[in-house]
Structure 1
């Protein structure tokens, strides 16, 4: 018990210290976990061989991650991926295996060993790549979806790889077969069965997962709901994942693939979000633990014996895979950032490589000496992967700078009302004004938004509203009202300043991001400033009051009084706000804010009392 608590303390402390530090440097959480493992393992020696045993447990984080990914996909989306899944993913594995096998033979390895090495290094890291894609919000990009297709195909192909590798050690095939049956018979549903029996049992297991997801999930959650205990939802979510993973191991399939299938089946149910919320924390911790064990497992004695050799091998493998991925990206019409994300993101070896390497050593396809070296190369490639994502970020920014922006539209009509920005805020303003019979000129820098508007019959013009020539073309000199509804606060302030400088008499209505942005817009010259969350919050507060004892009249009076006095307080503090001094360090601002808070409470009570008196007087008269 003491040793467990010691290890738990070491692992958690390393993660808490290293991951935020790496995230602040822009390195990502994965590199932080890997570095934490290196520090507490090879460098400081807090953990030793027990990290290898812990790694098998930590790999369950990959299982949970694929379950969550499955929840994000409905079966129709998975079917739409079939070409990339089979074509892109299958070609990547076949081509990478072939090329690396040829290189290994050229370096003097026998065919069986060379092919095994090719299979091992054809796989990429599902854990690192998907975690990083999610962190950087790149999963929905073309490169992210293509990378996911390849990773899913690789996970599927691990199954036939595990069947092929024992056949490469022909001399030990009979011994392996006997040992495999004796050791795993009590934990297998397919041991000792003929080929057709294995197929039937495997298909039956898959069918049971699908049918249980369709027909048993709802009754199970209704039963759990009667307990009215929050922890029971977490328990049932873990039960679903663990039970399916165990069933898949009983029939010799990948637990990750089984839970992915279950996630897809449950994607269209009403319990999807509940399952996501319950499983997500466990997934994050287990994945972090997995990365720490990978870092802790690096054999620095082997590495330092010939560091140039092992680093060179890792980089060579990544270069070979990168060239193949780049060519496949071209074939499948990936361009620009998507192609580089696909290439750099999948160039490493993966965690299933650990499984195949250990398995190959068990069945005597590769020797123990080669096993250690291959595991070290896999680990180094995984350790280099976050740096490849940083390289992608650098290339992506340069591409953005080098990309020529499309020319803005030629504006062929002008209106007395100009609306700059038609996101969620600007769209509502535009629709309301147009329904009142007023004409508007709509500008937005997002071409996709303008094209969608045109499909719904709403005319808009593409271009950057902060460019003076575009504003003049839209009729700034004759306009009566300018609505500034762009998303970027700095761009909004710049636009207000520009419009006020050009037209001192123009009425400008601006959307503010927060209170500080309100001050900036006020100084820039906006007439009416709408805080994007303020009005909605007022309405929500009124509903709260109506449902906690106040009448509709009293709640409305309270809302009206709060709105009036908050605007007064805003004007008072705007005069004291200084952009060169942080708000908390501006003594005059803070003192006046505290005074206004006290005044506000008293004034609201007085305002409500006056309104009530007026209501009584009007009723009596």
Structure 2
């Protein structure tokens, strides 16, 4: 038994290590790699792990951990703010998608009750797949990421009463039992849900306080696992979703002081089990059925993806979302979901759907899940660029020449600080920023910012560059920064240039272009923290400040020397090594710095 279990673990790990990196290098993402690995080791190809259904049931724990981690990142106050998106946008999307898919299923010959179950089941999306894709690209906190999460959360909530109602939709069961069993299940589910929230509110913090007091990382991690699995099991026993229970537990802990420690302990389990889930989905795909009727299955898969994509986009537009966001949501949520497996299997168990039809639909859902990573890659690298290019060509603002003293190119975190100071001094300035989302955001707070490329002569001219005294290049991206500098130096030579340098290389590029007023964005903050650290060690304030000032002066000299060997890597390395030795010698020779102190003696 133990040998068989270890052998299965070895097979899963080997398949993941060999196949997933290939898909990552091809730019197809991890999810598609895990699905392909599951197909290869599953019953349909090599049959290395025959019990695909058992693996799929166990791997549902990966979804549980994923939803728990997401709950940890959603404070109750933020969840309250999202209620309109969850229930307003979510209910609209489910209604539109279920209607379109149910009509299509009825048109293909299913009874009204069966068509409704199929339409709703196929209308559900894959929560782990979508959130994993968004997480890979760090887009969970974007507007389309938040809306996608809201839709997925509502779908999980809506699936629960539908799952309870499926036995009632079967005519024989409905006539025999009436509505009492459904009412009983609803009451039990509501009680369990309320019990989880109330119990978690009063018990979770004391429980983790007790675990933390033991100063044992193993005990703390075990407590986190106990909470996740316990909440999931409670919901499962009540007939609800395990993932919903884990999500609620995460939300209850989102405001606690233990949140980050819990997340760090749970993360390894979440990643491994989620990969196992995608491999299990690949294993359950009936590839033999695809070989028997390829055209039918591919047509159904294509129809499902298109119908869901259109319905998602339509719901987003009806809810007031822009075209770009609507298309993004349509692509992201165009697949079937793992909850569809559960609903369709439940419908087959009460003879509401034929078992062969359910097998066919489960394969279609699996194939639709495999298309999403590909479609999302095409969307990111193709469709989004088309939107960006069209906006850049046609949507630049027309800045008004308000005789500003200063022009600021770029209004991110760096530029905004300068803008606030200038505004406080009532010094007129004009801002150009090429990031339309950033422009829209800062305008909400009353800032006068224009959307436009600061390297374009006509926009600089319209902004008052002829009469301005200086231009601050606060753009963080080196290439964009250098384009602006080159254009200004050529067409507006009277403008004094003050520039932000991302790093030493960027600083050298700016210096070679003739810019003399340069601030390296991390240097001041790093030196300030260094000074505070020295003070924290017990070194007197004036001595710590002198140490930092000496470093700054030496570093400026080293930067100038390194500029002379720009482009020669061998000489640059030699210059850097020489500068490090010079700094040590300089510190040793400086009496103020070399003064002994208790703190320095302790360090040495």
TM-score interval (norm. to shorter): 0.7 to 0.9
How many residue pairs align between the two structures?
Answer: 590
Q: 1:344·1:388 contact (CA, 8 Å) conserved in 2?
A: yes
Q: What's the CA shift for 1:219? A: 1.8
Determine which of 411, 419, 422 is the counterpart of 2:401.
411
Return the match for 1:213 from 182, 185, 200. 200
1:248 aligns with 2:231: no
Q: Distance in 2 between matches of 1:120 and 1:194?
A: 22
Q: Structure 1 residues 395 and 355 mapped into 2: Cα distance closer, same or farther (>3 Å)?
A: same
1:311 paired to 2:267:
no
Q: Distance in 2 between matches of 1:419 and 1:108?
A: 64
* Cα deviation digits, residues 25-82 of structure 1 (max 9, x gap): 3322211221222233367626332232111121122222222333333445444544
Change (3 A) 1:438 1:111: closer
Rounded to whole Å, the distance in 2 between the matches of 1:116 and 1:449 is 43
Is 1:337 the counterpart of 2:324? The answer is yes
Deviation string for 1:386-407 (max 9, x for gaps)?
1222343222221222232232
Give the Cα separation in 1 of the matches to 2:77 and 2:472: 41
Structure 2 residue matching 1:224: 3-state secondary structure: helix
Tell me how far 1:527 sits from its aligned partner.
Answer: 0.4
**Higher mean Cα deviation, 589-598 or 262-271?**
262-271
TM-score (normalised: structure 1): 0.85
Which residue of structure 1 aligns with residue 55 of structure 2? 54
Tell me what 1:325 maps to.
312
- Tell whether the 8 Å contact from 1:421 to 1:485 is kept in structure 2 after alignment: yes
2:96, 2:39 → 1: CA distance? Answer: 33
**1:223-372 equivalence runs, <5 A:** 223-372=210-359
Structure 1, unaligned stretches of length 5 or more? 178-192, 614-621
1:89–1:153 contact (8 Å) kept in structure 2: yes
Distance in 2, matches of 1:430 and 1:80, equals 30
Residues 1:567 and 1:18: Cα distance change in structure 2 (over 3 Å): farther
Judge conservation of contact 2:44–2:286 (CA < 8 Å) in 1.
no
Q: Counterparts of 1:453 and 1:339 in 2: how far apart (Å)? A: 23
Match of 1:574 among 546, 560, 563: 563
**Residues 214-244 of structure 1: CA deviation (Å, up to 9, x unaligned):** 2223222222221123333322222221111
Q: Which residue of 1 aligns with 2:519?
A: 530
| 1:154/1:474 CA distance change after superposition, 3 Å | closer
CA contact 1:336–1:399 (8 Å) conserved in 2: no
Match of 2:533 in 1: 544
Say whether the 8 Å CA contact 1:422–1:485 is kept in structure 2. Answer: yes
Give the direction of change, closer, same or farther, for the CA distance of 1:492–1:608 in structure 2 (3 Å limit). Answer: farther
**Distance across 2 between alignment mates of 1:115 and 1:476:** 63
Q: Conserved in 1, the CA contact under 8 Å of 2:547 and 2:593?
A: no
Counterpart pick for 2:457 among 462, 468, 476: 468
Instruction: Judge which range, 523-532 or 18-27, deviates more.
Output: 18-27
- Choose which of 568, 577, 586 in structure 2 pairs with 1:594: 577
What is the deviation of 1:248? 0.8
Tell me the distance in 1 between the aligned counterparts of 2:348 and 2:442.
Answer: 61
Residue of structure 1 equivalent to 2:504? 515
Distance in 2 separating the partners of 1:472 and 1:36: 57
RMSD value, Cα: 3.2
Q: Which residue of 1 aligns with 2:67?
A: 66
Say which SS state the counterpart of residue 59 (structure 1) adopts.
Answer: helix
Alpha-carbon shift at residue 504 of structure 1 (Å): 5.4
Which residue number corresponds to residue 3 of structure 1? 4
SS in 2 for 1:525: coil
Q: 1:553 is matched with which residue?
A: 542
Instruction: Answer yes or no: is the 8 Å Cα contact 1:23–1:32 preserved in 2.
Output: yes
Unaligned 5+ runs, structure 2:
597-604
Inter-partner Cα distance in structure 2 for 1:350 and 1:593? 55
Contact 1:513 1:531 in 2 (8 A): yes
Distance 1:223 1:567, change over 3 A: same
Deviation at 1:479, TM superposition (A): 4.8
Whether contact under 8 Å (2:128, 2:274) holds in the other structure is yes
Larger deviation: 466-475 or 158-167?
466-475
Contact 2:8 2:49 in 1 (8 A): no
Q: Quick one: structure 1 residues 203 and 346, their matched pair in 2 at CA, closer, same or farther if it must change by over 3 Å?
A: same
Q: 1 CA distance for matches of 2:49 and 2:211?
A: 42
Query: Partners in 2 of 1:17 and 1:52 — Cα distance?
Result: 23
Task: Summarize deviations over 1:146-171 as a string: whole Å, max 9, x none.
Answer: 43333222212222222232234445
